[in-house]
Chain A
Amino acid sequence: MVFVLSVVCFTGLTMSLATLLVIAARVLVNYGTCQLDINAGEEPLEVQGGQTLLAALYANEIFIPSACGGKGSCGHCKITVTAGGGPVLPTELSYLTRGEIRSHVRLACQVKIRENIFVKIPSDLLNVRMFDATIESATPLTHDIKGIRMRLDTPAEIVQRPGQYVQVQAPSPDGPVFRAYSISSPAYDRNAVELVVRLVPGGLGSTYLHTIRPGDRVNFTGPYGEFHLNEDPAVEIVCVGGGCGMAPMRNIIYTLYDRWPERTCWLFFGCRTKQDVFYLEQFQDLAQTHPHLHVIYALSEQDGENWSGETGFIHLSVDKYLESGVARQAFLCGPPPMIDAVTQVLTAKGLRPEDIFYDKF
């Protein structure tokens, strides 16, 4: 009897509370339809008021970067709101610099649409699409890294630059979240996107991508990223990666040799042990046809036998191989201490800070 009463009482209470909230939402916070104007366009979008700016943009297929699913904890969804966004909220302050606040930058996930709103979005982001794709292959590259190839269904083609990334939608207990992965397939491979994913224990995105199988469907948005490869063939390209920070390098190198077969490029890649090494043979094959590609792998935890490459941390190899005073552009991808050490070495070799790009994770 007490069980029945408990269930009846609790259900009754939650139902009445829920009903009260639904009625309150209808009566109290109903903003009707508002206009969303992007880049002072001629035809503003009609959106339902009351939702967040991020949700309204996503509903209209404008995919600005966001990793946390709109909880205000990643700070990626920055856009300029010129009018109608209300005051900056304390929840945004920790992600915005003073300069950004002065130039009306907001976190789109925290801005609620209550009136007609005017925003500015960089044109690069307006080209971002949501892709439906099918997993073509998921190949283990090392014990915890997989190479994942996704064939695009709709749209069937992607226009990307090397160094750009996509955001893969992964399920989570609180609804879908987005996780960013650099594109490892070359830019001329327009019908597919490849990723290099290391399994992070407990990580939502990597666990998801490590459990899906060929034939499964995935959704992702992209491409994002500001990196532009230097177009001058005399400028050497230096790629330095560590751990699983390989994806953007692979894209850069293959795209580079497709366009400029004679261009000089250095690939430095640091691993712990021999079992963490991957893609080495592929790059060595490529170096056979393109003698100006220099591939240098280094192991930081020396296990000596059968290893003809370098040993020690990767910035030592960079220091050893590169001579000073050559025009270069560098792309770095790996853990923060590695990036810092390599940046120091490259600066000492005469690279300007604006020619060093990096992806810290």
Chain B
Amino acid sequence: MNDTSTWVILFAAIFTNNILLANFLGMCSFIACSNRIGTSLGLGTAVTFVMVTTTIINYAVYHYVLIPWGLEHLTFIVFIAVIAAFVQFVEMFVERFSLKLYFALGIFLPLITVNCAILGASLFMVIRRYTFFQTVGFGLGAGLGWTVAILLMAGLRQKMRYSHVPEPFQGVPIAMIVTGVLAMVFMGFAGMVSIT
């Protein structure tokens, strides 16, 4: 049991313990899809949705299947399978019932299957012994935190197109440097709230 309040966890997951800028999880899609704000918002929304839902499903799987049968060593592989299958299912569901939403979000879903931030959120839930509501709060906070981070990055990269980046730093190198600076900025939030 973890006795931090759900609201504290929610805000800590967005600011002080941002899954991207503090834990550096989900970097690949963060770097690859942060060229336009619109794309980033779509991807961020999809990540948030999948993060909340998969942490809930994985919470159930962990507490009602893995623990009672003493199979905690299968945590990683089961979480990965659940996430992959769920994301596929959501993709088909969205495609069937809202083509508009599918074109806006659905195409990002395959990218998310292998996003380590999603798996990371489920694993943090296990390590930090969250209750159900804390899990929901953390999943939502981590997803929003990831979205905030990629939106900041996309905004900066859109501006960067008009700045004179030295040639060796153009593209991914400058994106990595900017990510580092953003991470340092977020360290300024440290001390406001904290979760362990």
Q: Which residues of B contact A9 (CB under 8 A)?
A: 65, 69, 71, 74
A159 interface contact, C-beta 8 A:
no
Q: Which residues of A contact B77 (CB under 8 A)?
A: 10
A6 interface contact, C-beta 8 A:
yes
Question: How many of chain B's residues touch chain A, expressed as a range?
Answer: 20 to 34
Whether the pair B78, A28 counts as a contact (CB closer than 8 A) is no
B177 interface contact, C-beta 8 A:
no
B85 interface contact, C-beta 8 A:
yes
In this complex, how many residues of chain A approach chain B with their Cβ under 8 Å: the count is 22
Of the stretches B87-95, B121-129, B136-144, B182-190, the one at the interface is B87-95
Contacts A9-B65, A9-B71, A10-B77 hold; do A87 and B103 have CB atoms under 8 A apart?
yes
Contacts A21-B89, A28-B95, A29-B92 hold; do A6 and B107 have CB atoms under 8 A apart?
no
Whether the pair B107, A89 counts as a contact (CB closer than 8 A) is yes
From 27 to 43 in chain B, residues with beta carbon under 8 angstroms from any chain A beta carbon are 35-36, 38-39, 42
The docked-state distance in angstroms from the alpha carbon of A71 to that of B101 is 22
Q: Which residues of A contact B70 (CB under 8 A)?
A: 2, 5
The docked-state distance in angstroms from the alpha carbon of A24 to that of B96 is 10
Contacts A6-B74, A17-B81 hold; do A24 and B107 have CB atoms under 8 A apart?
no
Whether the pair A5, B88 counts as a contact (CB closer than 8 A) is no
Q: Which residues of A contact B73 (CB under 8 A)?
A: 6
Which one, B35, B65, B92, B99, contacts A25 given CB within 8 A?
A: B92
Which one, B38, B65, B96, B103, contacts A29 given CB within 8 A?
A: B96
Q: Mark A20-45, 1 if CB is under 8 A from B, else 0.
A: 11001100110000000000000000
Contacts A6-B74, A28-B95 hold; do A21 and B88 have CB atoms under 8 A apart?
yes
From 232 to 291 in chain A, residues with beta carbon under 8 angstroms from any chain B beta carbon are none
Which one, B69, B85, B96, B103, contacts A89 given CB within 8 A?
A: B103
Give the most central of A18, A29, A90: most B CB within 10 Å.
A90
Interface residues of A (CB under 8 A from B): 2, 5-6, 9-10, 13-14, 17-18, 20-21, 24-25, 28-29, 86-87, 89-91, 93-94
New contact pairs (19) apart from A6-B74, A9-B69, A28-B93, CB-CB < 8 Å = A9-B65, A9-B74, A10-B77, A13-B81, A17-B85, A20-B89, A21-B85, A21-B92, A24-B89, A24-B92, A28-B92, A28-B96, A86-B99, A86-B103, A89-B107, A90-B38, A90-B39, A90-B42, A94-B35
